[in-house]
Structure 1
Amino acid sequence: METTMVPNQVAECLLTLVMMSLLVVSSSSLPLNRRSLKFLQEVNRKGPYIGLITVYSPEEAAFFHTGAFRPNPKHPFLDFSGRRFRVGKIHDKKVIYVKCGIGMVNAAAATQQMLDLFDIAGIVHFGISGNANNSMSIGDVTIPQQFAHTGLWDWGNPNGTLDPEDITQLDFKAYNAPKGGENLLGHIGFRNEEFYSEFNTPNTVRPLFWAKTTRKWLQVAAQLEGIELVQCVNSSLCLPQKPKLVVGLRGSTGNIFVDNAAYRNFLFQSFHVSSVDMESSAVVMTSLSNGFPVIVIRGLSDLAGRQAGENPIQTFGPLAAINACKVVVQFIIALQEQK
């Protein structure tokens, strides 16, 4: 018996074929074997998850030391492009955790992988950072409301004209010791990012300097101010005052480890940032570009060059990481309660 397809049925069949071909292309373009693809299908079927991203081993050790993360007994992790994505729960909230590695390229890559592979509801990025604010102290935890990429520069010559589009400029001769005269390093002008977003027309960008974290999540985090944080590294080494959580400041990110008092003061005076790190802006911008909620939780481990002598990051870095992780766990619990 011969049948004739109506136009609507033809369109539906064509659409199905197109979708199937796209699925095949998408699957084959990823370096995943069949076992990994099956893993992702089974894991994502039980989503969505909160994505947790930290940076390097001491922060990861502090995170696991909290004991809050419970791995999924059937699907504990997926290895992808050299990173291990761990599936589990924190107080019944489904999470996927990954260590991204130091620097903005690592941070952006891990964030994009997280969003592409898994059914993610939002990103929580955490770790340690340097302090650029005299009203903050080592051991404090900051949850900034916005981040700037302060490592995107135009490096000018000493006699060059200033670019009126620069956000601000750093003239090296202003830091000559003794003062006066020219400096062959000239000056650097801080530029905007080019921000791509799924909400914009393709191939159109808008200039962006301050990338804002998610307001609703900041409101949840603000409820945690007053949380009890760790004050002592051990029985004989304690901070002079109890650490505190502060929500709503500004943060700075660049592929630069800042251990210089003059540059630290410049960043604070020019941009009013309270923390400096090497990853947060990349995580925030990647999340926002894809349309996902994001928040950053950073423990202050050193004073970014303010202190005399050796940088105390080796001494107080673990304590700052522990405090950041304590806040992360409580934030996840607060999100669950909000739901």
Structure 2
Amino acid sequence: MLKQLCCLALLAGSISTASGAEMLDDTPRTAVMSAFAPEWVALQAAMSDREDFSVNGVTFATGTIEGKPVVLFLTGVSMVNAAMNSQLLLDHFAVKNIVFSGIAGGVNPDRHIGDVIVPTQWGQYLDMILARETAPGEFTPPSFLPHSLPNYGMMFPQDVTVTREGSEPENKFWFAVDPDLLKVAEGVAESISLKDCTPDNACLTTAPKVYVGGNGVSGSAFVDNAEFRSYAFDTFDAQVLDMESAAVAHVAYANNVPFIAFRSLSDLAGGGEGENEMGTFMGLASDNSAAVVEAFIAALPE
């Protein structure tokens, strides 16, 4: 049954602010989000007792996976969509944990398409200064803007400012994954098997695995460039890069909600030969991420 929030209720202010938002479901749940449709098809298939709610055009599906209460939804692609709809989730549902399941570009040259990566922290690496060229090939950012990470040409990464209840605004680059959730992921990684062929029999040359650890970075750009991929690996020790996870980590941190992200490699962000691999392996990567997340949910304590 699809429950629509009435426009008149919106105008009346029943969900006008986070502090006064209408709770649509008070069961404590693990929120499982993905960026776009192929990433959550398998997760929907694993759900029982489904009931849908619609808020601002976003469908939130409640139910159970492996006997655990969950709420599934699509953030939409991009940092802004991810942040906006993550906050929408928290305003209307009782959320115990936030889990992201999706695909990503591989950055670490020792990882392969189909692998599932579970980073320990996430950074917004494309929040940056575009500096002026002060000499041929030399770029200098304004003196009043602090920066500590190596630049890529005119691009100088910056921290982001975060506010949350009971704390002064702080500048951060890394948003840590919840350590307890990470331990559960480590246990799951030891036993799960992953797909290595698509339905069209496009098969991987290396059997995919789950890797827990390292860093992930997110920004509003699809990366298909070998040189920039190398910069991201050398500068941030990034295992993966995507367009949503760090934004969700930011929102989770601001709301004091535990967060973790599972990202399966659909491509090598420009590091492979020929055309970008996402068109071939997007479905396989989505299924691998969903399989690990389903096992992760089953392993969560009651």
TM-score above 0.5, yes or no: yes
CA distance in 1 between counterparts of 2:166 and 2:179 reads 18
8 Å contact from structure 1 (residues 71, 86) kept in 2? no
Letter in 1 for 2:13: S
Contact 2:194 2:288 in 1 (8 A): yes
2:52 to 77, 81, 97: 77
Match of 1:30 in 2: 15
> In the alignment, what sits opposite 2:130?
155
RMSD: 2.2
Residue 279 of structure 1 aligns with an amino acid whose one-letter code is E
Partner of 1:198: 165
**Could you tell me how far apart the structure 1 residues matched to 2:228 and 2:10 are?**
48
Deviations 1:93-118 (Å, cap 9, x if unpaired)? Answer: 00011111000111011111111101
- 1:198–1:291: 8 Å Cα contact kept in structure 2? no
Q: Look up the SS of the partner of 1:309 in the other structure.
A: coil
Q: Which moved further from structure 2: 322-331 or 307-316? A: 307-316
Identity among equivalent positions (%) equals 32
C-alpha separation between the residues in 1 aligned to 2:104 and 2:152? 25
Aligned to 2:280: 315
1:52 paired to 2:32: yes
- After superposition, give the CA deviation of every residue in 1:135-191 in whole Å (9 maximum; x if it has no partner): 10000001110001011111111105345821324343xxxxxxxxxxxxxx12110
Per the alignment, in what secondary structure is the counterpart of residue 189 of structure 2? coil
Give the Cα–Cα distance (whole angstroms) in 2 for the partners of residues 150 and 261 of structure 1: 17
- 8 Å CA contact retained: 1:62, 1:318: no
Taking the aligned partners of 2:178 and 2:12, their CA distance within structure 1 comes to 31
The separation in 1 between residues aligned to 2:11 and 2:291, in whole angstroms, is 38
- Could you tell me which runs of 5 or more consecutive residues in structure 2 were left unpaired when the two chains were aligned: 1-8
CA distance in 1, matches of 2:152, 2:83: 30
Contact 2:59–2:74, Cα closer than 8 Å, also in 1: yes
Structure 2 residue identity aligned to 1:192: D
Alignment check: 8 A CA contact 1:259 1:311 kept: yes
Instruction: Write out aligned runs for 1:4-23 (5 A).
Output: none
Question: Residues 221 and 69 of structure 1: is their aligned pair in 2 closer, same or farther, counting only changes over 3 Å?
Answer: same
Paired residue for 1:63?
A: 43
Partner SS for 2:198: strand
Q: Is structure 2 residue 299 aligned with structure 1 residue 334?
A: yes
Change in Cα spacing, 1:230 to 1:91, as seen in structure 2 (3 Å) is same
Aligned mates of 2:133, 2:171 — CA distance in 1: 27
* Number of the residue aligned with 2:6: none
Residues in 2 aligned to 1:328 and 1:310: alpha-carbon distance in whole angstroms: 29
What is the deviation of 1:71? 3.4
TM-score (normalizing by structure 1)? 0.79
Q: Distance in 1 between matches of 2:185 and 2:102?
A: 16
TM-score, normalization by structure 2: 0.89
Residues 25/264 of structure 1: CA separation in 2 closer, same or farther (3 Å cut): closer
Q: For the structure 1 residues 147 and 26, does the alpha-carbon distance in structure 2 shift closer, same or farther, using more than 3 Å as the test? A: farther
Alignment partners' CA distance in 1, 2:201 and 2:283: 15
CA distance in 1, matches of 2:28, 2:255: 16
Cα deviations by residue, 1:24-76 (Å, 9 ceiling, x for unpaired): 999724279xxx96x82xx31xx111111110011122323xx321133xxx1
From 112, 115, 125, the equivalent of 2:90 is 115
Pairs within 5 Å for 1:67-146: 67-72=45-50, 76-146=51-121
Q: Report the Cα distance in structure 1 between the residues aligned to 2:61 and 2:39, rounded to whole angstroms.
A: 15
CA contact (8 A) 1:125 1:297 kept: yes
* 3-state SS of 2:234 partner: helix
Q: Which amino acid aligns with 1:190?
A: P
- Structure 2 residue 266 is the aligned partner of structure 1 residue 301: yes
Q: 2 CA distance for matches of 1:321 and 1:118?
A: 25
Residue 86 to residue 171, structure 1, CA distance change in 2 (3 Å)? closer
Who wins on radius of gyration, i.e. which is larger?
A: 1
Partner of 2:147: 166
